[in-house]
Amino acid sequence: MLIGKTAQQGMMFLYICRKNSFIMQKKTLMLWLGLSLGITSQAQTTLKTTPKLPNKPKLVIGIVVDQMRYDYLYRYASKYTNGGFKRLMGEGFNCRNHHYDYVPTVTAAGHAAIFTGSVPAVDGIVGNEWFDQKAGRTVYCVEDSTVKTIGADTKAGLMSPKNLLVSTITDQLKIANNFQSKTIGIALKDRGAILPAGHTANAAYWFDSKDGHWITSSFYMKDLPTWVKDFNGKKIPQKYIAQGWNTLLPIEQYTESTPDDQAHEGKLSGEQKPVFPHELAAQAGVNLLEVIRSTPYGNSLTKDFALAAIQNEQLGKGSQTDFLTVSFSSTDYVGHAFGPNSIEAEDTYLRLDKDIAELLSFLDGYVGKENVLVFLSADHGVADVPGFWQAHKLPAGTLDGAAMATAVKNALNASFGEGNYIKADENNQFYLNHALLKARKISVSQVYEVIRETLLQRNDVADVIDLQHISESSIPTYQQGYVRNGFNPRRSGDILYFLNPSWFTGRSTGTTHGSVYRYDTHVPLLWYGWKIKHGETSQRTNISDIAPTVADLLSILEPNGSVGNVITEVVK
């Protein structure tokens, strides 16, 4: 009874203090509490000197929207629900001026940079593919022939994070609490699941279209968990595809986008025209389920699987913080095919907004918003379709990569005699045949001079850079920094060519990304939930700042290759 009365008095005292003054003298409170609760003076000392243990969120969710440009947050805002992107912006913190600061701006490099707080120069993920001079072949970022596919009889699971040279924020979380956290990565794309989840992940799952199953590799486990097998057994991809793809809203309401039928839009498998309704029919030689990637249903399927993972793995219900990474890949496939100004892209974002709203509302009931830390960003942006720009008298275009390669080959043969001087062209970088150059006593600089002179005759090439002498190039200093951050001496090429803004190597339909320009570097960064106050900043932030900021919020060490800074406005 005495304790009850004391506690009651204590509460009353706190109430009065709060009412009278927000600034509560800590010493006075401790002394008063100590006296009224009968705590000895020794215990009081302990109370005073023991630092307050940092509170942790129960669950961190890192969301990547593949190819989401910053401006999409606003362009479609009038049609977004209140529960998705607008909720993240309205209740969370918005870093409006958030950029990549390296090239190439592509999926694998982006996912690695977000979760390692690093850049390709350090983390080693210099592209989706790069040429391996030692092996004499192009390698894929997450390929691993030493592991087995788990969950399918295909080669889609021969993957692991072994090419990632550094730790991720998800790894650091596990190291911080002796591997008690659960960390899981999910994406349709293998690299979108594997790189964020890191080396110590409990699991990474990606999509194999052969049977429409979520699979993994023996790097993570020997057999799929029962819940994953059950999920696969439900044949959800087949159900989505059977619906066909029509617009969520009446098509005349898509006023932010160009009319549906455009010559510069790509077509889905089996289609005659790039128009709604997309029937999602089978095409000879292509697995029907593959088409789900290029529809908003690929994102919905990812959301369905993420919700199943949270519930079945009881993420956020353990004693330590768990970490789920979810990458929505379909925005990228749709964006590549139809471009940012298409009704298809708009519809995909309106539907993703609903998927994100469903995820946030689920979290409300599951652990509560106050117990979950969410951040959302993108792995790169994208260029508008050149055909769309040309139609509006804007400068843009595509160049024929094969013709350019022939011109370079001819120039090198004319200068140095017949020979195979270039082994590969990956990520706009030429990998030279160093053995041949050595045998013929030709220097890289000599080759560079010939290639530069040849390519600068074209009006679509902005500049050519000798990657051993980046600072000697005539490109602006900030672009030199981007090139340096993307250059890894063992994995990058020798000579880089820059195209003009809004130009890329490609075909007449669709679009791509990978450049140093703003449309490829400017992506959203939203923070939401535990400890996050509402606000926004237009101060420049870099993609490598995300992981150090998460580390600061969680009071854990940054990933070992991190080069970013804590975004102080988010954590204060």
Return d(Cα 87, Cα 530) in angstroms, integer: 14
Element (H, E) at 399: strand 397-399
16-35 residues near Zn ion, rule: CB under 5 A: none
Ranked by CB distance to Zn ion, the top (closest) residue is 332
The distance of closest approach from Cβ of residue 130 to Zn ion in the complex, given in angstroms and rounded to an integer, is 16
| Structure tokens that stand for 309 in this block | 């993972």
Comparing C-alpha atoms, which of 457, 487, 453 is closest to residue 470?
487
Does residue 545 interact with Zn ion by CB under 5 A? no
Query: Which stretch, 53-61, 88-96, 332-340, 449-457, contacts Zn ion (CB under 5 A)?
Result: 332-340
Q: Which residues of 504-537 are buried (b: 16+ CB within 10 A; e: fewer)?
A: bbbeebbbbbbbbbebbbbbbbbbbbbebeeeeb
Comparing C-alpha atoms, which of 346, 352, 344, 310 is closest to residue 327?
352
Query: Which stretch, 93-101, 326-334, 343-351, 452-460, contacts Zn ion (CB under 5 A)?
Result: 326-334
The distance of closest approach from Cβ of residue 63 to Zn ion in the complex, given in angstroms and rounded to an integer, is 17
The distance of closest approach from Cβ of residue 405 to Zn ion in the complex, given in angstroms and rounded to an integer, is 22
Q: How many residues sit in the footprint of Zn ion (CB under 5 A)?
A: 1
The distance of closest approach from Cβ of residue 122 to Zn ion in the complex, given in angstroms and rounded to an integer, is 23
Q: Which is nearer to Zn ion, 187 or 363 (CB)?
A: 187
Q: Which is nearer to Zn ion, 332 or 384 (CB)?
A: 332
Query: Which stretch, 115-123, 238-246, 325-333, 519-527, contacts Zn ion (CB under 5 A)?
Result: 325-333
Instruction: For 200-249, give the DSSP string.
Output: S-SEEEEEETTTTEEEEETTT-SS--HHHHHHHHT-HHHHHHHT-B--SS
Look up tokens 């509402």; give the residue: 534
Comparing C-alpha atoms, which of 166, 141, 98 is closest to residue 562?
166
The distance of closest approach from Cβ of residue 74 to Zn ion in the complex, given in angstroms and rounded to an integer, is 22
The distance of closest approach from Cβ of residue 328 to Zn ion in the complex, given in angstroms and rounded to an integer, is 12
Does residue 346 interact with Zn ion by CB under 5 A? no
Q: Which is nearer to Zn ion, 133 or 341 (CB)?
A: 341
142-201 residues near Zn ion, rule: CB under 5 A: none
Q: Which residues are catalytic?
A: 107
Residues 6+ apart with CB under 8 A from 246: 276, 277, 278
Return d(Cα 532, Cα 541) in angstroms, integer: 17
Q: Which is nearer to Zn ion, 262 or 512 (CB)?
A: 512
Q: Which is nearer to Zn ion, 332 or 466 (CB)?
A: 332
| Structure tokens that stand for 125 in this block | 């993920």
Comparing C-alpha atoms, which of 293, 338, 268 is closest to residue 188?
293
Q: Which is nearer to Zn ion, 109 or 447 (CB)?
A: 109
Return d(Cα 169, Cα 167) in angstroms, integer: 7
Does residue 332 interact with Zn ion by CB under 5 A? yes
Return d(Cα 13, Cα 404) in angstroms, integer: 79
Residues of the shown chain interacting with Zn ion in the complex, contacts defined by CB under 5 A: 332
